[in-house]
Structure 1
Amino acid sequence: MGPSIDPKTASKLPIHDLPTPEPESPMRQRKPYRFSTLCATVENPDMKDQYGSSSVPIYQSATFKGVGNEYDYSRSGNPTRSYLEHHIAKISSAEHAFAVSSGMAALDVILRILKPGDEVIAGDDLYGGTNRLLSYIRNHVGVTVHHVDTTNPESLHSFIHPTKTAMVLLESPTNPLLKIADLATISKDVKERAPNAIIIVDNTMMSPYLQRPLEHGADIVYDSATKYLSGHHDLMAGVVTCNRDDLAKQIAFTINSVGNALTPIDSFLLLRGIKTLALRMDRQQTTANVVADYLNTLGFHVNYPGLADHPGREIHERIADGNGAVLSFETGSKELSERIVGGTRLWGISVSFGCVNSLISMPCVMSCVQLFLALTVELIKVDRHASIDAATRAARGLPEDLIRLCVGIEDVHDLLDDLEHALIDAGAIEFNGLQNRYVRVTGPEAGHAISRAVEKLALDGVPPPQDREWFVSAPGKVILFGEHAVVHGVTAIAASVDLRCYGLTTPRNDGKLSVHFHDIDNFYQEWDIEALPWDAVTPVPAGSGHPEALDQKLINAITEGPLKGTDESKRTAHAASLAFLYMYLILAKGAERLSFNFTARSTLPIGAGLGSSASFSTCAATALLLLQGRITIPAPPAPTSPTTGHVHLSHQGRRALPIALAEEVNRWAFVAEKILHGNPSGVDNSVAVFGGALGYTRAGFERKSGMEPIQGFKSLRFLLTNSKVPRDTKKLVAGVGEKKANEPELVNGILKAIQSISDEARRALADPELPRDSLLSALSALIHENHGHLVTLGVSHPSLEVIRSTTAAEPYQLATKLTGAGGGGCAVTLVPDDFKAQDLQNLIDQLIRQGFDPYVTAVGGSGLGILSPYAYHSNRSAAARHRAPVPGQITPPETPNPNDESLPYLEQSEDFEPLRPSFEMSSISELPSWTENLGRWLYV
């Protein structure tokens, strides 16, 4: 049997599906298609085009000939619309779907189910057109409407009547405040108290790709298909879906009676748009996450469920598969918001959302903006929240200064640049030289003159090391042989991997210390430096090493002090903060208590067994040691004459940083690893610092402890496959220790066998005369043997065994083993030099279909990297001098003395821009190339 489907993937597999291909054999059944495939594949088994058209034809006909046929009049039914409705049902987990002329037409059809005397419970933050229609039925149909805060399911209880409550109307996220309603809990509560009540959900904001409310207890779901389903704002449409036959019969009757069904041409256009729904939404919500992070970092109050501090995030993650592409933020001033909206160029001012083009608006008072832009006021009053009177808006907490952003598919850097220019021009943000970044302006003119004067002084002089931006990086690792055994003294063979963690320090100088772990729940936290537990610190003087044991008193003081109250569900970010604060306090005790921000990002998958924690520990330790002056970057040699400069030869970054510096970093990185893992082997941080490949032995198993580089290591190609199964390293290591205590003879025998494997592998990797094919064949056999021992130790996982069996099957026949602690995490597969590209792609596709994340990489690259503080005329390219996406200096932002003739090869006149905005806004895929273009990196 194949592997079980990941629950998150399974949530995107609709119940009502296209027939999948027949099984190849009874033992290997086909799996249901994923959502993006369902979107692109428009088929209806009950409707076959006579010509086999790959695109659904437009049946542009009002009438059809014949008597008693399926179609007679397009108001009642049309083949193009039938294709569309089947397609919508398929991707919505629905039995029935209906397409009508607009989203409001869809709601109108639904509300016609109501009768006089019925009661409706609706949210207090609803689309303006929804409010308008609810007001109409309240005034003309005799229906009572209660507006409540749907973010709290209990707030509905007092309004639910066993017989009178006929309908509950929900949005989640709401528009425009992005509030989250627990659809599952509300549906359950309502059905228990009013069994005949109908749960209605407006799902326009999410689309079926990101949320399918029918799966959470809703009875009817509707979307304005003008938005994400179509995606191009070139048609008006609405869709209604449900699973109850009785409701479907009522809806179909109303549509046929009033004649608001969607036209054939619009049905065709909507079908075309749905084919790219998944593709568009992936791009749009990825960019929306970046935009929300950017505004949040500036200090604005941002409404977006993807932010760590969003009050409904936990609920949203449970009922939805993504965060969507709409966000809103407050500026504190309606006039300021108007200037921001009016100052954008790429963001189009519009009343809608869900388009491939990015849009901006002020939903609550958009008519003011339209006056500001000499546009029509009435356009807004018929279609937006401005149609809600000011008193009601205030009562429902709809701020007048609210700006809504609807993110499209444009390049994220262009969108951020346009938004930043608008914020600057409006006076909403300004550059703070002390913090070396843009910050929100919180008062009319407060502090402007002083801050700018101080900023000028800081930039005109040569800033000391602690006032620079320091940019560092460290690689991840793969343990090729010796996992777990290394803890008990067996030699491990490890190599660096071409995936890295990056760390950036940015001066604050405001008495605060902050961290931003961008790729760990987008975690951000700041602390008052003087409020840190300095009394609990035992300093380690410069030149001295940290004691072997951790200072438990200090760890307790940090946990009960600065970290108390932080979200402990974010265990990884919490642990990283503890390690960072621990090193900061020890290194700063008796020295200058520096104020700065530390941002960490990673192209390594977190918690997958590829040494992401050691890579982080190395970056954090390096940054802190640089800031405190405990390690220094050597200056380049002076030129031999006034006319000739030093010739720089490329060594692919190897050995540019002194070994003494690397050893000091490694000692402190190991301290951080102890905090994170309790009893680490030390191999992970050693690889992160020194790079390449090495054999690492820890005292305790018939061997002398130490680390030995493997000279002449040959570059190897590996397929890394992330099982996406979380693991507990401490628990796994402890489990092996317990097994050794209980079964010493068995485990000691395994340890000896693994030692033999490591010895053989090290000899093979270092043998310059061993033919390449013989090396790869030998390594493959050793990989199989090593993995078998790890299985016996009980540290594998079913997901890893699925990956292993897949890669070993025909036609691949590749050797795979777990790496790291096991119990989930990553598997590594050795890829021979002559392995066919098409076979590799087929294997990758198969692993993705099984729910895993594979990617091809190489091992054995550089270790710790620090971006050089020196800028060279000779070796800096134009891309390095004017790097994308934001031009500026290399880091640290040091301005050499123009009168110092001993440094004629240094750049002496460049406008400096901080690295942090570009660093934080770049996507994971862009980070490696972006960092390479910054200047000359120095490596171990």
Structure 2
Amino acid sequence: MAASHSSSPFDLPTPLPDSPSRRRHAYHFSTQCATVENPSQKDQYGSSSVPIYQTATFKGVDGQYDYTRSGNPTRSHLEHHLAKISSAQHAFTVSSGMASLDVITRLLKPGDEVIAGDDLYGGTNRLLSYLKVHGGVIIHHVDTTNPSTILPLLNPGKTAMVLLESPTNPLLKIADIAQIASDVKQRTPEALVVVDNTMMSPYLQRPLEHGADLVYDSGTKYLSGHHDLMAGVIICNRNDIAKQIAFIINSVGNALTPFDSFLLLRGIKTLAIRMDRQQTSAMSVASYLHRLGFLVHYPGLADHPGREIHEKLANGPGAVLSFVTGDKAMSERIVGSTRLWGISVSFGAVNSLISMPCLMSHASIDAATRAARGLPEDLIRLCVGIEDPSDLIEDLELALLEAGAITAAPLADGGEHYIRTTASLPRAIAKLAEDVKNTGLGLRTTPRKQENREWFVSAPGKVILFGEHAVVYGVTAIAAAVDLRCYGLTSPRHDGKLSLKLPDLHNFEHTWDIKTDLPWDAVTPVLPGDVHPPTLDQKLVDAITHRALPPAARLENAQSRAATIAFLYLYMVLTHEDERPSFNFIARSSLPVGAGLGSSASYSSCVATALLLLHQRVSIPSLPPPSRGATPTDPAHVHVSHKGRRALPTEVADEVNRWAFIAEKVLHGNPSGVDNAVAVFGGALAFTRAGFGKKGGMEPIHGFKSLKFLLTDSKVPRDTKALVAGVAVRKENDPDVIEPALEAIQVISDEARRALSDLELSRESLLTGLTTMIHENHAHLVTLGVSHPVLEAIRAKTAAEPFGLATKLTGAGGGGCAVTLIPDDFSDSALRELLVGLEKDGYEPHVTTIGGSGLGILSPYDENNYPSGSDSEDASAPEKQPESLRKAFERQGVEELAPWAEGRGRWLYV
């Protein structure tokens, strides 16, 4: 998540020098964390782990080290490593986080003035109070969330230090470090800007890059990560300050011990991967509490004050949050009722902790001061670890129930859901009353306007070009968008009804009365700006299944049943109490359903897009103003990479992708996220599943060239679970055969990824290389046992003369679909001959391209008119009232669907 910081003088040397043809890039943060290299301190034995020099003294005269209080090789390695990952010239380590602040405040003298925040860690407040009483230092506490509060206190010649936390502990207030540092340097250039960065660590925030002079961390927390040591870190870029800090540490004698230096260095190696998991889980916990109506302090929530500033300064929201219950006694009961959350001060460990700051970490601040600074007595602080987030949420939920903070409300079908029991107005309800609008996504809580437009959306399918099936075992898969698409159309109705029609799924169609036919008592809405929790609301799924599905969908066809549940699930969780749009939704597909080409993901993306538009959770950009030479059909700006078509904003695509993934969960239980990502973003990406010693994730393949392919649906059913289980059995019983095959597929995927993104590679070389890799990859898939006789028959037919084409399976195998690369010089007559032959054999071939656009939206820009049913887009002629697209959409044959849709007007694509 955090970007590499190439400005640091401690960037790791790359293995090879730069060259005009092959540039080397600075390593990413996680790589730098895990790689401990100090060119000036090479171990004489080549140890891969820095040794512990557990000695107080060193022999000899004029050596680099003489006494461990002044310097130690283990500590030197640690300090070099910390400077490298902190964008710093100098780093020092001492015995604790508070020892760090103690060393820094020894730079002050009597009469100096310090400006500090009003929401500080209790130990920081305690030390400042001591300096005020015993050291003659003048302390000013201000609200640092407003930089203007600092300006009147900046006193040239007097102000010596400005001490900041951001986010603060425990209210997670955000200070604009960059703005404050700029103001301080302009008015009192001699003053030092000091930042406590413990809440973020160098992984998420590096204040030196934003103008701070000194930064300190409690190494006990995230840097160590295991609460098995005490340590403090000080970093800076100024040589004069570094000399003073080094002198103080040597004089006081509080430098970090060799053994603790070793432990801290070991902990830093996993900093990035720990914090990735911790803040992801923290977002889930914060969203859960937010949905229940508690006031939650967490920078990851859309309505957190100062979130925009935080996102400019940091690379993530962190893993600490706090919330209030409205009742101190209730908060105490909640804290005492948890089992998985350990009751403890501190944070940053791999295990999750819970505390009440006013009774624990901030108890040294007197009650009157706490009240004056707005620190609630009922505040609960949660420090999220690396446990499974569903376990953490369940444990917290049980504690809330036991404490009486929430209660189970019965549902009509005998189930139950939870509601907050506080007598105060729940925050979720209060939020609905706010007249706010997030202009980034078009999120709104104001009463919605009646929607009179039709929305026409589409999303592509996908193919796995390389690595399919092997991806289950950690091999990288190469996935790409295929220009066979699912299309969704909404048309307005204002009779309180909701209808869904799926012509390609046994012509399913049903209409619901929105008020009476849907199980509203089972839904917990996800409010604008919030994110859906990591797990589905199973109570809602069950309620839809048993109370909303018509018998046809419930009993006859599993595919239409699942598609209907996904549609209703998204519709309901996106709906507010009085925000229930009435409309028709029709989905059609030029993709073969069930062939392993991502038809469910493209459907999910269309449903998510349509519902987000109708619930006014996203908005598409307006037409640009006319420019010289522009016409109604020729906007002032076009998106060049999409053949002149305008682009959908990234924030819209991100929001659609999040909700498409939820729909995929309804359809498949535990999707990888690959299919919906390709359906939304288009192009191609490389995906590696987490586990097997790999972090996992998805990365786009930039520069992907559009390729012509033949996709042949074998029409043979696939049993994906059986295929996966079969490979697992073979891997266990015959590892000497299966594991080399998996390793070989990984090599192919890596080579394909390089080839597809290599802009210097000629088209001829690319096609030749892909042909070879397709043959090799399929051979290894045969070794895994996931091919099928029909797929081998299709391969043989396409490889035979006069065709000579390369074909492989795609997807789980067992049947499904075969993909055949069509070279640029392959003749039209030969292609027609091949298509006729495949159809004669009972297969369903589709000629298409791979690597095209993602999500598409066609919409009018005049809210009073439908999109044009003809090729005209003349919105300036109100007398032209075009017919609804619905009837024409339903009339189109599958083969005519794509060209007809493309001809409706100007689409916006991702």
> Which range, TM-score by smaller chain?
0.5 to 0.7
Q: For residue 737 of structure 1, report the CA deviation from its aligned partner.
A: 10
Structure 2 residue aligned with 1:441, among 420, 430, 434?
A: 420
Call closer, same or farther: CA 1:85–1:833 in 2, change over 3 Å.
Answer: same
2:370 alignment partner AA:
R
Give the Cα–Cα distance (whole angstroms) in 2 for the partners of residues 442 and 28 of structure 1: 62
The amino acid of 1:416's aligned partner reads I
8 A Cα contact 1:176 1:404, kept in partner? yes
In structure 2, give the amino acid aligned to 1:262.
Answer: L
CA 1:21/1:142 → structure 2, altered by over 3 Å: closer, same or farther?
A: same
Q: Is the 8 A contact 1:100 1:238 kept in 2?
A: yes
Distance, in Å, in 1 between the alignment partners of 2:243 and 2:134 is 25
3-state SS in 1 of match to 2:82: helix
Amino acid corresponding to residue 78 of structure 1 in structure 2? N
Output one character per residue of 1:181-204: Cα deviation in whole Å (capped at 9) or x when no partner: 000000001111101000000000
Residue identity opposite 2:277 in structure 1: R
Superposed displacement of residue 18, structure 1: 1.7
Corresponding position: 1:253 with 2:232: no
Using the alignment, how far apart are the partners of 1:308 and 1:99 within structure 2? 36
Q: Distance in 1 between matches of 2:27 and 2:272?
A: 13
1:556 maps to none
Structure 2 vs 1, CA of residues 715 and 102 (structure 1 numbering), >3 Å: closer, same or farther? Answer: closer
Structure 2 equivalent of residue 395 of structure 1: 372
SS at match of 1:168: strand
Secondary structure, counterpart of 1:9 in structure 2: coil
Structure 2 distance, partners of 1:65, 1:92, is 33
Matched AA of 1:423: L
Verify: 1:410 aligned to 2:328, yes or no. Answer: no
**1:15: Cα distance to partner?**
5.5
Matched with 2:185 is 191
Once the two structures are TM-superposed, the CA of residue 217 in structure 1 deviates from its matched residue by 0.3
Instruction: Write the distance in 1 (CA, Å) between the matches of 2:10 and 2:779.
Output: 36
What is the correspondence of 1:556-575 to structure 2 with a 5 Å cutoff?
none
CA distance, structure 2, for counterparts of residue 388 and residue 59 of structure 1: 41
Residue number in structure 2 paired with 1:63 = 57
Q: 2:351 aligns with which of 357, 378, 386?
A: 357
Q: Which amino acid aligns with 2:183?
A: D
Q: Which amino acid aligns with 1:421?
A: L
- The structural deviation recorded for 1:413 is 1.0
- In the alignment, the residues of structure 1 paired with residue 90 and residue 408 of structure 2 have an alpha-carbon distance, to the nearest angstrom, of 55
Q: Does residue 634 in structure 1 map to residue 533 in structure 2?
A: no
Q: Deviations over 1:536-563 (max 9, x none)?
A: x78x9xxxxx799xxxxxxxxxxxxxxx
1:739–1:627: structure 2 CA closer, same or farther, 3 Å change rule? farther
The change in CA–CA distance for 1:150 and 1:802 in structure 2 (over 3 A counts) is farther
Counterpart-to-counterpart distance in 2, 1:305 and 1:192: 29
> Where does 1:65-144 land on structure 2 (aligned, <5 Å)?
65-144=59-138
Please name the residue that 1:154 is paired with. 148
The amino acid across from 1:413 in the alignment is S
Q: Of 768, 774, 778, which residue of structure 2 is paired with 1:832?
A: 774
What are the residue-to-residue correspondences of 1:35-434 with 2, within 5 Å? 35-364=29-358, 366=359, 380=360, 384-433=361-410
Q: Once the 2 structures are TM-superposed, how far is the Cα of residue 803 of structure 1 from its aligned partner?
A: 9.3
Q: State the alpha-carbon separation in 1 of the partners of residues 597 and 491 from structure 2.
A: 38
Counterparts of 1:662 and 1:416, CA distance in 2: 24
Q: How far does the alpha carbon of each residue in 1:747-769 deviate from its partner, in whole angstroms, 9 at most, with x for none?
A: 9xx99xxxxxxxx9999546989
The alpha-carbon deviation at position 255 of structure 1 amounts to 0.2
Query: What 5-or-longer segments of structure 1 have no aligned partner?
Result: 1-6, 367-379, 448-507, 541-545, 549-578, 607-621, 638-647, 666-681, 694-708, 719-725, 752-759, 770-800, 817-827, 840-855, 863-940
After TM superposition, give the deviation of residue 43 of structure 1 in Å: 1.0
Residue 936 of structure 1: aligned partner? none
Structure 1 position 32 matched with structure 2 position 11: no
C-alpha displacement at 1:25, in angstroms?
Answer: 3.4
C-alpha distance in 1, partners of 2:226/2:429?
47
Query: Contact (CA 8 Å) 1:92, 1:241: kept in 2 or not?
Result: yes
Q: 1:167 to 1:585 in 2, by over 3 A?
A: farther
3-state SS of paired residue (1:634) = helix
Report % sequence identity: 56
Q: 1 CA distance for matches of 2:176 and 2:404?
A: 38
Aligned partner of residue 216 in structure 2, secondary structure: strand
Give me the whole-angstrom Cα distance separating, in 2, the residues matched to 1:124 and 1:279. 32
Matched residue, 1:773 = none
Contact preservation (8 Å) 2:5, 2:87? no
The change in CA–CA distance for 1:742 and 1:40 in structure 2 (over 3 A counts) is: closer
State whether residues 363 and 403 of structure 1, in contact with CA within 8 Å, keep that contact through their aligned partners in structure 2: yes
Distance 1:838 1:24, change over 3 A: farther
Distance 2:566 2:394 in 1: 38
Q: Which residue of 2 aligns with 1:610?
A: none
* 1:806 paired residue among 752, 758, 768: 758
C-alpha distance in 2, partners of 1:768/1:592?
40
- Relative distance call for 1:157 and 1:126 in structure 2 (3 A) is same
Counterpart-to-counterpart distance in 2, 1:246 and 1:255:
15
Give the TM-score of the pair, scaled to structure 1.
0.54
Q: Please list the CA deviations of residues 676-715 of structure 1 after superposition, one character each: whole Å capped at 9, or x if unmatched.
A: xxxxxx9xx97x644734xxxxxxxxxxxxxxx9x99989
The CA distance in 2 between the partners of 1:655 and 1:101, in whole Å, is: 62
Cα deviation 1:337-381 (Å, max 9, x = unaligned): 0000000001000011111110000001x2xxxxxxxxxxxxx4x
Q: Which residue of 1 is the match for residue 662 of structure 2?
A: none
Contact persistence 1:228–1:277 (CA under 8 A): yes
Q: Is the 8 A contact 2:289 2:296 kept in 1?
A: yes
Shift of residue 422 of structure 1? 0.3
AA in 2 matched with 1:143 = V
Q: Tell me how far 1:634 sits from its aligned partner.
A: 1.2
Q: Distance in 1 between matches of 2:780 and 2:82?
A: 35
Structure 1 residue 832: Cα displacement: 3.5
CA contact (8 A) 2:112 2:138 kept: yes
CA distance, structure 1, for counterparts of residue 429 and residue 119 of structure 2 = 41
Distance 1:98 1:41 in 2: 19
CA distance in 1, matches of 2:158, 2:303: 38
Which blocks of at least 5 consecutive residues in structure 2 are unaligned? 457-487, 500-511, 533-540, 570-583, 602-617, 645-705, 716-752, 782-809, 818-910
Change (3 A) 1:351 1:522: farther
State the AA in 2 paired with 1:211: Q
TM-score by length of 2: 0.56
Q: How far does the alpha carbon of each residue in 1:764-803 deviate from its partner, in whole angstroms, 9 at most, with x for none?
A: 546989xxxxxxxxxxxxxxxxxxxxxxxxxxxxxxx999
Offset, 1:415: 0.7
- The answer on whether the counterparts of 1:626 and 1:632 sit within 8 Å (CA) in structure 2 is no
The C-alpha deviation readout for 1:124-146, integer Å capped at 9, x for no partner, is 00000000000111111111000
Q: Label 1:739 to 1:804 Cα distance change in 2 as closer, same or farther (>3 A).
A: farther
Given that 1:117 and 1:143 are in contact with CA atoms closer than 8 Å, whether structure 2 keeps it comes out as yes
Matches of 1:407 and 1:664, distance apart in 2: 33
CA contact (8 A) 2:224 2:264 kept: yes
How far did 1:443 drift? 4.0
Q: CA deviation at 1:20?
A: 1.8
